Amino acid sequence: MSVSALGVTLAVTLGVTLAALVARAGGGSLEAGSAATGPSVVVSHSDLTELAELAGVVPAWRELWLGSLDALHREPSINNTQEDVLAQLGAVAFLHCPVRNLGERGVSWVRRRDWHIISSGVLMYTNDERFQVLHSEGSDDWILQIKYVQKRDNGTYECQVSTASGTLSRLVHLHIAVPEAFILGADEHHVDAGSTINLVCIIEKSPVPPQYVFWYHNSRMINYDAARGVTVQTEPGPKTQSALAIRSAAPRHSGNYTCAAANTEPAHIYVYVSEGSDKMAATLSRSRSGRGAAGGAVLLANLLANLLAALLGVRLGAL
């Protein structure tokens, strides 16, 4: 309330009290609309306070002072309900800590995995610049922001407030979702020369569908090789599906194919393009290459096992 408004309120509602104060001050009188010809009247601060209290009006300064004093005596309270936060690999995570009646106290964030103090108030105690505390003036929420979350950020975080009666805390469990890609079918795909290579990649466990899915032949990205008979069709969704088709397959199209997206575990498949349907020849060809050493070992083990079984059969027949 402004001084002029207060004066009007007092003049209108407390005329009798004001007259009494004037009389007490010097026995004079105060008449509205006339010059002050009588003894001068000095109204003290205590008199104004008395008038305000009689009028039911509390001065603004006193209201603010009492409010501040009351806030100092109130204990802070924290929403200690545990919270689970899901963030996708590479995204931004926000961990909330609502505290009321904080006063001049501070909120600290601690990583429970190693009990590392991350922050106190808005001061950071980590060299990892991905971490930051967000707090707006007048807000009860102290937010720990983690940018570009990694697998190692997965775990429990605790916000704390120290009080005279102990420590208040709230636990927030951060879960990092790592999208995974897999290609339908076995680890190997055999096709005849002249036919079409069809591969389908599924990306799941992705809260936010990827904007792009990339296909690689060995180490070369082939999404835009339309002139070479390559087409890619991607349908984003809870389970994003990307289909790769290569027309008129030739032996040069043999090799490793990879399906990949941002912040996603990629998937791989090996494609063999052979003349006719000689898949055994293709397998043997792979075993002779450096990449197929493991496949060759498996093939050799199978041949030895068959030979051993044949020998045992012969000996049992002789007995």
Tokens 């040069």 correspond to what residue?
A: 252
Average pLDDT along the chain, 319 residues, taken 10 residues at a time: 43 46 48 46 56 57 56 76 94 95 91 96 95 93 96 96 90 95 93 95 91 94 94 93 96 96 93 73 50 48 54 47
d(CA 121, CA 109): 9
* Own/partner pairs, 237-242, CB within 8 angstroms, 24+ separation: 237/209, 238/204, 238/206, 238/209, 239/202, 239/203, 239/204, 240/202, 240/203, 240/204, 240/206, 240/209, 240/210, 240/213, 241/200, 241/201, 241/202, 241/203, 242/200, 242/201, 242/203, 242/213, 242/215
**Domains recognised in the chain with CATH numbers:** 3-73 (no CATH), 77-177 (2.60.40.10), 180-288 (2.60.40.10)
Kindly report, residue by residue over 213-254, the tens digit of the pLDDT. Answer: 999 999 999 999 999 999 999 999 989 999 999 999 999 999
Whether 148 contacts 140, CB under 8 Å? no
